[in-house]
Amino acid sequence: MNRLIISTLLILACNSASSQEDLAVVKEQQIVEMKVDRYYNQKYQSQLRKLRRTYPMALKAKELIDIYESELTVLNKKRKKKKYSKKAHKRLKDEFTYNIRDLYSGEGELLMKLIHRETGMTVNEIIKKYRGDFQNSIYSGMAFLWGQNLNQKFEPNGADWITEIVIQDIISENLTFDKTMHKMDRGAYKDSMKKYRKNKKDGRKKRRKNKKDRK
């Protein structure tokens, strides 16, 4: 009888230990899944915010370049094509100058990737095609000084996989999204910069106050 009781207790103890180990594994998996979900959701929302400012610009660039490409095909003389390319470059520059200036560094990087996604060309290749090698080298040099790479490419199966998911949701109309690019003029850009500087100044004041209060 005692042996039966002892055996039963040992079996129960083993089962209990096994269950606790299984429970620990499940709990660890749940924690990992929660971390992955949290990372994904944060990145998704972050990319969506950036896309609201940059994706309409990339779509507008595609629209203009498609027009330029179709119009270039009917020009048979090299001189006419060169003249048209200069005009196309000027229009692209006029269309996007202040919108681009108003972007944060990360948004500017994303815009270049999106332009590659939509047009199949890097910003470097577009400048070279519509303005020539000399202008291309100038823009590349300026971009380098600002820490930007004009040869940015969109990688839907690599670094930009979350961005691609957001874009597919936009295309499928699973999100409320305005695809229209609203051109920014000089006055609007100045107002935006004034607001940016004020927010930055207020932020510094708030940080100093919080630091003072902690002392």
The domain spans of the chain are: 47-183, 185-215
Strand ranges, E, within the chain: none
CB 71 within 8 A of CB 130: no
Flag the least confident range among 13-27, 125-139, 153-167, 173-187: 13-27
Which among 90, 111, 124, 98 has a CA at the least distance from the CA of 191? 98
d(CA 128, CA 151): 12
**In b/e form, how buried is each residue of 46-60, taking b as 16+ CB within 10 angstroms?**
ebbebbebbbbbbbb
Q: What is the mean pLDDT of residues 185-202?
A: 88
Q: What is the mean pLDDT of residues 13-37?
A: 57
CB 103 within 8 A of CB 51: no
* pLDDT (0 to 100) of residue 215: 64
Flag the least confident range among 8-17, 51-60, 164-173: 8-17
3-state helix, strand, coil in the chain (%, to 5): 80, 0, 20
* pLDDT (0 to 100) of residue 145: 45
For 132-154, the pLDDT digits (tens) are 654 555 455 555 545 577 889 99
Rg of the chain on CA atoms, in Å = 28
Confidence of residue 212 (pLDDT cuts 50, 70, 90): confident
Query: How many CB atoms sit inside 10 A of residue 36's CB?
Result: 10
Half-sphere exposure of 45 (CA within 13 A, CB side): 5
Average pLDDT, the chain: 79
**Angle in degrees, 0-180, between the axes of helices 161-171 and 2-72, rounded to the nearest 10:** 70
For 103-132, the pLDDT digits (tens) are 888 898 999 899 999 999 998 888 777 776
d(CA 77, CA 80): 5
* pLDDT (0 to 100) of residue 30: 60
Confidence of residue 19 (pLDDT cuts 50, 70, 90): low
pTM beyond 0.75: no
More confident residue, 139 or 49: 49
d(CA 141, CA 147): 10
* pLDDT (0 to 100) of residue 82: 78
Whole-Å CA distances, 215 to 202, 209, 210, 211, 212: 20, 10, 9, 7, 5
